[in-house]
A = this chain, B = another copy of it.
């Protein structure tokens, strides 16, 4: 992220859990979806091929055969071409569906395994590509904080919901923060050793959290 006066923006993240997208019957809808996918697809390809900074939005536009204006209409910033996660909603639903007697962290772990276990190989590869890009490009890494903060808020609500506490309960928020923090820690460690299993490391880290983070237990 550099040049830019992006101030009046704020990641949108469609408010909350999207209603699984309408059937998208209209031709218009389908065309839009196709355009959107095409743009992002070519963007990711170019970014991995020649680097994020080295790729201009104009090139992306050209590759997707649209005008630069259109690219910006679909993705408010260059960052957004990478920072779009479709798994969050699924994760949230998965957490909600865990049995109520599970402790928050356990529920999260279970949901994680469930969601990533069910995802098809192609999409998973896409997720990994995106993750690698995000974690290795400083600007993207930086741009992710807002999403993480968003995640903390979601998690707080979910935890509070399960525990029958007010939605902004400080204890729930602290726990949510810890979960996300553990996430970050695992992810940053992964950058240093990409050959490791990210999901596995995350799970292990959450296991520590589950046990209260007592160092001597390990």
Write out the residue numbers on chain B whose beta carbons fall within 8 Å of the beta carbon of A156. Answer: 185
Contact of B145 with A215 in the complex, beta carbons under 8 Å:
no
A87 contacts partner chain B, Cβ-Cβ < 8 Å: no
Contact of A185 with B189 in the complex, beta carbons under 8 Å:
no
Write out the residue numbers on chain B whose beta carbons fall within 8 Å of the beta carbon of A180. Answer: 181, 184-185
Which of the four size classes fits the interface of chain A?
35 or more
With beta carbons under 8 angstroms apart, the residue of B10, B77, B175 that contacts A213 is: B175
State the number of copies, please. Answer: 2
Write out the residue numbers on chain B whose beta carbons fall within 8 Å of the beta carbon of A152. Answer: 181, 184-185, 188
Contact of B7 with A139 in the complex, beta carbons under 8 Å:
yes
Report how far A49 CA is from B60 CA in the complex, Å: 38
**Which residue on B lies nearest to A162, using beta carbons?**
B215
**Which residue on B lies nearest to A206, using beta carbons?**
B174
Q: Which of A16-24, A27-35, A164-172 contacts B (4 or more CB under 8 A)?
A: A164-172
With beta carbons under 8 angstroms apart, the residue of B5, B179, B218 that contacts A2 is: B5
Contact of B4 with A4 in the complex, beta carbons under 8 Å:
yes
Contact of B53 with A204 in the complex, beta carbons under 8 Å:
no
Write out the residue numbers on chain B whose beta carbons fall within 8 Å of the beta carbon of A139. Answer: 1, 6-7
Contact of B181 with A182 in the complex, beta carbons under 8 Å:
yes
Contact of B185 with A184 in the complex, beta carbons under 8 Å:
no
A73 contacts partner chain B, Cβ-Cβ < 8 Å: no
A2-B3, A2-B9, A163-B215 given; 10 more Cβ-contact pairs under 8 Å: A138-B146, A142-B145, A143-B145, A152-B184, A171-B218, A174-B186, A174-B213, A175-B215, A177-B183, A181-B181
